[in-house]
Amino acid sequence: MNRARFAFLLVFIVLLTFTLACSLVARPTATPLPDDATVGPASTVEPPMPTATALPPTAVVPPANTTPFHYNGIEFDYPNALAGSLEAQTVEEISGGDVAPWEIGPEYRQVAFQGYVLPDTFHVPQMLVYPVERFIELNSAVGDVVDDLRAVLANPAAAYESLPLLPPWNAAQLIHVQVQAIQFKNGSGIRYLTQYAQSASPINNRDLFYTFQGLTNDGQYYISLVLPVSHPSLPATFEEFMAGTDYNAFAGEYVSYLSQVTMDLNALAPESFTPSLPDLDAMLATLSVR
């Protein structure tokens, strides 16, 4: 990489990291769950690339073996093979005091997928249900995310540089692939596969995840589902991909790399991922949030 390009990339990541860290909140972490709520068996990041766009909702076929889940107005059926059990709780609001800005948020409902089919992944497999109005009162930036999701749902076939996601993270959306509009019992949203990072990172099975971002029809609740996914064609980890690879050379060709990975992942059959994307879509089709 020539000196001028290296200098540009270095300035770019500094500006990107500063902007993301100052404007939004940190990535979510696992929250301790009560025992009584169990149910059932450094470099650069280029701007996200426009990719294959969302399609109109399609019919989904539920998997044969599922378990119903109910918690405080949340209902859906999940595949038995997806997790050993689901555990749920209501997390208290944090609206002031001696806490970091990214820890501020409304009371919300959390459903954790215990004994998840993919172990040792970066992201916690969970569903979060937020009250929209209160979240915006506490964090005005959330209003922009909600508006973005409404715009995507109004025109899912358009091309977008990035897709909405809550809770906000201090990292950049590297890709979004396998985008599909999904309708649930009393709302709608989009699902897609994505990966976030603060540097030029290879797409890998430890960090890639399926997410659903949706709104109830009355606009009162925002649903965020994050479930790790994997595919045999991807490296297991960042370290596996980078073994024997010159990082500076990789970062210098990162835009081309993301473009190729995006095309490759969009060309794969949805059922070839683990867990199967159609099975996750079918689970969401049974969702009701009150």
Q: Determine the pLDDT at residue 61.
A: 60
Which alpha helices (H) appear in 67-138, and where do they start and end? 132-138
Separation of alpha carbons 59 and 39, rounded Å: 27
* 250, pLDDT greater than 50: yes
Kindly state the percentage of the chain with pLDDT values over 90: 69
Query: 217, 183 in Cβ contact below 8 A?
Result: no
Residue 129 to residues 34, 89, 238, Cα–Cα distance (Å): 17, 11, 31
Report how far residue 76's alpha carbon sits from residue 63's, in angstroms, rounded to the nearest whole number. Answer: 13
Which of 190, 232, 30, 240 lies closest to 122, judged by CA?
Answer: 30
Q: 198, 170 in Cβ contact below 8 A?
A: yes
pLDDT of res. 168: 82
**Helix, strand, or coil here: 259?**
helix
Q: Is residue 274 within 8 Å of residue 229, measured between CB atoms?
A: yes
* pTM for the whole structure: 0.80
Confidence of residue 63 (pLDDT cuts 50, 70, 90): low
Q: What are the tokens at 135?
A: 């979240």
Digit-coded pLDDT (tens) for 255-283: 999 999 999 999 999 999 999 999 999 99
204-213 average pLDDT score: 98
Q: What is the DSSP string of 210-223?
A: EEEEEEETTS-EEE
Rg (CA), the chain: 19
Q: Of the segments 37-46, 48-57, 78-87, which one has the largest average pLDDT value?
A: 78-87
Q: What is the mean pLDDT of residues 41-56?
A: 40
User: pLDDT tens across 99-137, in order?
Assistant: 777 778 899 999 999 999 999 999 999 999 999 999 999
Strands (E), 198-261: 209-216, 221-228
Whether the bond into 275 is cis, omega within 30 of 0? yes
